[in-house]
Structures are given as structure tokens and as C-alpha cells.
Chain A
Amino acid sequence: MDVVVIGAGIVGAACAFHAASAGLGVTVLDRGPVGAGTTSRGEGNILLSDKEPGPELELARLSRDLWDEVGKELGPGEVEFENKGGLVVASTPEGLAALHAFAARQAAAGIQTELVDRVDAFEPHIAPGLPGGVHYPQDAQVQPVLAAAGLLRAAVRRGARVRTGEAVAAVTGTDGRVTGVRTADGAVLAADAVVNAAGTWGGEVGRRLGAPVAILPRRGFVLVTEPLPPMIRHKVYSADYVANVASSDEGLETSCVVEGTRAGTILIGASRERVGFDTAMNPAVVALLAAQACRLFPFLRDVHLIRAYRGFRPYCPDHLPVVGPDPRVPGVLHACGHEGAGIGLAPGTGALITAQLLGRPWRGADPAAHTGLLPDRFLTTGGVPK
């Protein structure tokens, strides 16, 4: 079976890695370099802590196990994989009670959680007076572009090819099934299946393939400090973050995630704004993130911000990724809409797509266990978007 994966971001790379590992013929097509889109604009979060029990958490659990395998395969140093754990802190007793209730539901869904009274035992430099939090030992970190490049290299070692080019249309046979992808330079890549792993641009790619999906951009800024000696051990964030991730509000939301990196810099994410693909700098958002980070870690007040970047998270209207075959165009599969969780969810998505292509479970991914992510959920019985 020949598969064209559109998108050389982390999700496309993971799809290529798993599909090639399963012996499928894989061609990865991207208009730009590896991981140059949203993959390069995140913090490299591999989080279980921020997810409600449900289809996304199930994919995240699968993915978390597969990240360990990826780390072993590529070498943890090569992708800066760090099994550092997450610490979610509440700022008020009421917030702590809500956080504990949330963590209890996660624990029931199989997530490791540990209630923490003394957050300063986990983070010596954290602000004094915080009532407590929850430690999530499974949360981890990876350098996303290195991971995407590493996964693609591993896929190439298994026979995959990488092509620079832009997909413009699906080519279909008389039965409506995909037989290939036409690129902007007029070439046709023959394919039995096409995977839309175009991230934030997955909506447009879906349209071109005749299988539109509603993927919208949600802008986020991430701040990077000067390099420091190790000061922050975990991914630390305020309990408000969970509410913001799940929120559908139109306006700006910021609730910062603070963490150290291997290079010594501290990353501070992440705002969420629905402003289309507007790339404009928003100094107010940067200031707000800085203020929240300084509240969590007062020592940051004297630390320099040296860089900020922004990207566009791809989200579906129900804030779940869309992973699986599109019934309107047989042979087209979607693997996009991961919002801010694409790095963490990538290996699970790649394995699930591969299982769907094979028609049987693959590396722990059982298509029957992840039906909540199928594109069908947006379609009426007539195959029209709801």
C-alpha cells in the first residue's frame, strides 16, 4: 500500500514513522522544511495533566507510552526528551479543591496523580503561600523540531521518501477512491491513501482533497528567557490553564506554563487568541504572560526575556483532534486539529492512522478504541458537515 502523508510536522512525521515501520510505502509531502509550521512554535509539551477523561486522554495515554519508545529509538539526547513530570498548582483553596476533583477523575481514567501539599518541596523557587497542587509524573518534554526531524529520518531509514511540494488536489478513480495527489508543479504522486497531517492548514488541505474539515487557528505566544542554571524542575502551571485549554471563549486567555529547558532557557507559554492567522505582535499578551510567570516564580522578575515566538494551534470546533478515514473520499484520512497538544499526541496519532490503514491494531493503537476522534462526528448521515 502506498501512502502520501501531507505535512512534515510532528504529526506527519509520526504518521510516516509508524506507517513505514508497518511496511507501507510512504511519501511525505510538505511545501516547506521539516517542522517549520506549528511544530516549531510550541513548547514541546507531552501532557496528560491538562486533559479531561475522554477520547483525547485515551490518545494521550497511548501516545505517552509510544513517546518512551520514540525516545529509545532516536536516543533521548537527540530529541531532548525529558521525563520531567508536571506540577499543577492552585492559587486559592477553592481552586485546589477543584483541581483535586479533576485529578481524581483523571486517576480513575488511569493517569498517575499525586496530591501535593508543599509545592515548594517540588519547586524550591516557587512563590510562597500557594495552597497546594497535583504532581503528574508522566508529563514530559521534547524538542519538537528535533523530534520531527528524527522521526522522519527514522521513517526514511525504513524506506519512506520526503518530497518538497504543495498538494493541490486529490486524484480519484471512477469509484471515487483516492488514487493519488496532484502537486502544484503538476506531478501526480500515486497513492492508495492520503493522510492530511497539515496541522493548522489541515482545513485548506482537506478542502483540496475534497474532504473539508473545520480546522481553525488559535494564536499563541511563547516567551523564552536568557539561559540560567537549573531553577525549575517540572512543567509548572496554574490550575487555570486546564480551564483555558478547554475553553471556547472568543477572547484572549492566558495562563502560563513555566518550565526550564536543557539549554538553560525558561519557556513561558502560552496565550490563546482567536484572531485568525494574524501574525501581529501583541505586547499586552507578552506582558500578561510575564506577570503570571513572575507570580508563580518571583525570581523571574530579574530574568531577561530574550525571545518570543507565536504560532497558530489548529483546533476543531469541539477541541478534539480529527483522526481517521473521511467517509466522503475513500482513501483520505485526517490527522490534524490537535490544538496545543500536537507534539504530545503525535506518536499515538501516527500509530492510530497506521492501524486504520492496516485495518488492525498497531503498536497498541486499536481503531475500535478511538472512534471518538473519527471525522464522522462532524458529518450527518449524508456525508455533509454538520
Chain B
Amino acid sequence: MTRVAAETDVPTAPGLTVDGEPLAFVPGQTLAAALVASGRVAWRTTRGGQRPRGVFCGIGVCYDCLVTVDGRRGQRACLVQARAGMAVATGEGDDG
């Protein structure tokens, strides 16, 4: 079976929330990696067609994975390191 990092016995740090819900992560992982490890591959909808989007290129080029971090919109989840205390908001359109 698939072993994903968040399900392994690696210690995880608390205190990051996504839309108010706690998200487990390993320090050093990006927000995208932590979200994918939790089983989510989409967390945003497009402005026009309201289509679901999440991680695609994984290296900061496609901008599909945008989230709002601590109130700042337009952050690429695949680049931002997850950190305890971060409040991440996903959302509608490009509001992040």
C-alpha cells in the first residue's frame, strides 16, 4: 500500500491550520506536500469555470496551487514551507 509521509511514524509538528482545520505536516515539507499527504490534491476553484485545482507542476510554475497564507493571497502552496502557526485559507476563485 501507499505510504505517505503524514501516515508514517515520523514525528509531526502541530499548529498549522487549513481553513481552520489542523493539518499535520513534517517540518520541511511544503504546504502542497502536506496537503497531498493528507489526501487532498485540489483546494481551489478557478475564477471562470469554478473548476477544482490543486497541485499540478509542483515547482512553482503553473500557479494552480494558490492559497492564502496568514491573510496574504496568491501564495504557491508548492513553494511555501509549512510552519507551525500558519493559517492557510483555500478557496473560491483566485481569492485563494
Give the chain A neighbours of B74 by CB distance below 8 A.
Answer: 226, 303-304
Q: Looking at chain B, what size class is its interface with the partner chain?
A: under 10
Task: Classify the secondary structure of A's interface with B.
Answer: loop
Chain A: minimal CB distance from B61 (Å) = 13
Residues B73 and A264 in contact, CB atoms below 8 Å apart:
no
Residues A229 and B73 in contact, CB atoms below 8 Å apart:
no
Chain A: minimal CB distance from B67 (Å) = 13
Give the chain A neighbours of B47 by CB distance below 8 A.
Answer: 227, 264
Give the chain B neighbours of A229 by CB distance below 8 A.
Answer: 93, 95
B73: nearest chain-A partner, CB-CB: A302
Give the chain B neighbours of A304 by CB distance below 8 A.
Answer: 74
A229: nearest chain-B partner, CB-CB: B95
B93: nearest chain-A partner, CB-CB: A229
A263: nearest chain-B partner, CB-CB: B47
Q: Is A127 an interface residue (CB 8 A)?
A: no
Q: Whole-angstrom distance between the alpha carbons of A119 and B73 in the complex? A: 27
Q: Is A228 an interface residue (CB 8 A)?
A: yes
A304: nearest chain-B partner, CB-CB: B74
| 1/0 contact string of B56-96 vs chain A (CB within 8 Å) | 00000000000000011110000000000000000001110
The 5 nearest A-B residue pairs measured at CB? A304-B74, A227-B94, A226-B74, A302-B72, A227-B47
- New contact pairs (14) apart from A229-B95, A302-B71, CB-CB < 8 Å: A226-B73, A226-B74, A226-B94, A227-B47, A227-B94, A228-B94, A229-B93, A264-B47, A264-B94, A302-B72, A302-B73, A303-B73, A303-B74, A304-B74
User: A interface vs B, CB < 8 Å?
Assistant: 226-229, 264, 302-304
16 contacts between A and B (CB under 8 A): A226-B73, A226-B74, A226-B94, A227-B47, A227-B94, A228-B94, A229-B93, A229-B95, A264-B47, A264-B94, A302-B71, A302-B72, A302-B73, A303-B73, A303-B74, A304-B74
